Amino acid sequence: MNCIEILRNTPRQIVVILGLSMSVLVSLSTNLQAEDAGAMVKAAVDYYRGNASFSVVDMTVHRLNWERTMSIKAWTKGRETSLFFITAPPKDKGNGTLKRGHKMWTYNPKVNRVIKLPPSMMSQSWMGSDFSNNDLAKSDTILKDYTHTIEATKTDGPMKVYIVKSIPKPRAPVVWGMQRLTIREDHILLGQEFYDEDLKLVKSMTSAQIQMLGGRLFPKVWKMQKADKADSYTLLEYRELEFKEDLPDHLFTQSSLRARARTSLQSWRSDLVQIWPIQLSKTTDIASYFEDFANEASVKDGLKLRCQNVKLFLREP
């Protein structure tokens, strides 16, 4: 007796009940998978942010014909709060960014102003890199504004790896039409892909050199690359990482953003005192003082560059 004959001889009520039961089971399976995927993404975000953290990273922006590196100090608290500013090179030193929830401010020491960024700027490039403001601040928008499903699984050595597809919720204020995350079973984020509204890949982030950092396994290097530019990418390399139980709220304020930038500039002034035996004060015309040094061939290239840029980078805030 085949399946069709069995169904013909089965009371209609039983067939209906079986059909409803299958629908319920499929629905439950889908809901459980979504819950598992959502929990997986949440665990990955919490793992790389921790309750709070402090880090020192080098950011290298690579292009076909040039490359530049910036050093950055960063603090995070919870899922929504971040503070980071540049400590080198001199021309960028003192620039800082503060993010609290959906609000973001930047500080530019050249104009001595804290500027609030509109929401549309959150997805824009940070300091000409391939990381956006949201990327660098490790924004939790992926948790709030997307729904998640497990798309596939694979293995990475002895570890199981999950491919999670993230789709924006209706009317969510997001830029990406889809994201795809690669998460190892120990919550380490191995990769993240960003797609536009037409589901075309725009850029991708990958992590590498997983090692002990801050007391836990953590990728030392992160690479962000545009899909259509093989010779353009940005590397983030951790030099220091420390996870903390908590950080004070007053650290993540506009006043702190401005004060830490001032401290950065003052440290550069101290560096000069160690190099040249002079007395510097707020009224010292540093650019004029070093003008002759900058033009002398006997000055080493590195010091010459510092002299040439001193007018811009040692100005008192």
The CATH number linked to 55 is 2.50.20.10
Q: Write down the mean pLDDT value for the chain.
A: 80
Do 283 and 181 share a structural domain? no
Do 241 and 159 share a structural domain? yes
Residue 274 lies in a domain: yes
Do 309 and 198 share a structural domain? no
Dihedral sign, Cα of residue 281, residue 284, residue 286, residue 287: positive
pLDDT at 146 over 60: yes
Do 271 and 148 share a structural domain? no
| End-of-domain residue from the set 218, 234, 249 | 249
Do 72 and 173 share a structural domain? yes
Residue 82 lies in a domain: yes
Q: According to the model, what pLDDT value does residue 63 have?
A: 96
CA 208 vs CA 52, 189, 200, 202, 204: distances in Å: 22, 10, 25, 20, 13
Q: According to the model, what pLDDT value does residue 133 have?
A: 86
d(CA 116, CA 208): 34
Residue 40 lies in a domain: no
Residue 190 lies in a domain: yes
Q: According to the model, what pLDDT value does residue 11 have?
A: 61
| End-of-domain residue from the set 249, 276, 293 | 249
Burial class (CB in 10 A: 0-12, 13-18, 19+), 202: middle
Q: According to the model, what pLDDT value does residue 83 have?
A: 95
Give the tokens for residue 70: 């910036």
pLDDT at 40 over 80: yes
- pLDDT tens, 47-66? 999 999 999 999 999 999 99
Domains: count for the chain: 2
Place 4 in a pLDDT band, splitting at 50, 70 and 90: low
Instruction: Say which range, 83-92, 121-130, 175-184, 274-283, has the weakest mean pLDDT.
Output: 274-283
Query: 56 CB contacts (<8 Å, ≥6 apart)?
Result: 71, 72, 73, 74, 238, 239, 240, 241
Do 302 and 154 share a structural domain? no
User: Rounded to two decimals, what is the model's pTM?
Assistant: 0.73
Contact 220, 189 (CB under 8 A): no
Do 148 and 206 share a structural domain? yes
Do 159 and 65 share a structural domain? yes
d(CA 263, CA 116): 21
Q: To the nearest 10°, the Cα dihedral for 62, 53, 270, 305?
A: 0
Do 271 and 239 share a structural domain? no
The CA-CA-CA angle for residues 121, 126, 131, to 5°, reads 105
Residue 114 lies in a domain: yes
The whole-number average pLDDT for the span 135-145 is 84
| End-of-domain residue from the set 217, 249, 281 | 249
Do 289 and 189 share a structural domain? no
Do 292 and 179 share a structural domain? no
Q: According to the model, what pLDDT value does residue 61 have?
A: 98
Q: Which of 205, 207, 210, 260 is nearest to 75 (CA)?
A: 260
Range of the domain at 289: 256-313
Residue 188 lies in a domain: yes
pLDDT at 31 over 70: no
Q: According to the model, what pLDDT value does residue 296 have?
A: 41
pLDDT at 72 over 50: yes
Tell me: cis bond preceding 89? Omega within 30 of 0 counts. yes
Query: 152 CB contacts (<8 Å, ≥6 apart)?
Result: 162, 163
pLDDT at 163 over 50: yes
* DSSP three-state, residue 63: coil
Residue 153 lies in a domain: yes
Q: According to the model, what pLDDT value does residue 123 have?
A: 84
Give the tokens for residue 102: 């959906």
Do 245 and 119 share a structural domain? yes
- Per-residue burial over 41-71, b = 16 or more CB atoms within 10 Å of its CB, e = otherwise: bbebbebbbbebbbbebebbbbeeeeeeebe
Residue 94 lies in a domain: yes
The whole-number average pLDDT for the span 131-137 is 86
- Helices (H), ranges, the chain: 3-8, 12-49, 133-136, 141-144, 254-275, 286-289, 291-295, 301-313
Query: CB neighbours (10 Å) of residue 282?
Result: 6
The whole-number average pLDDT for the span 140-163 is 94
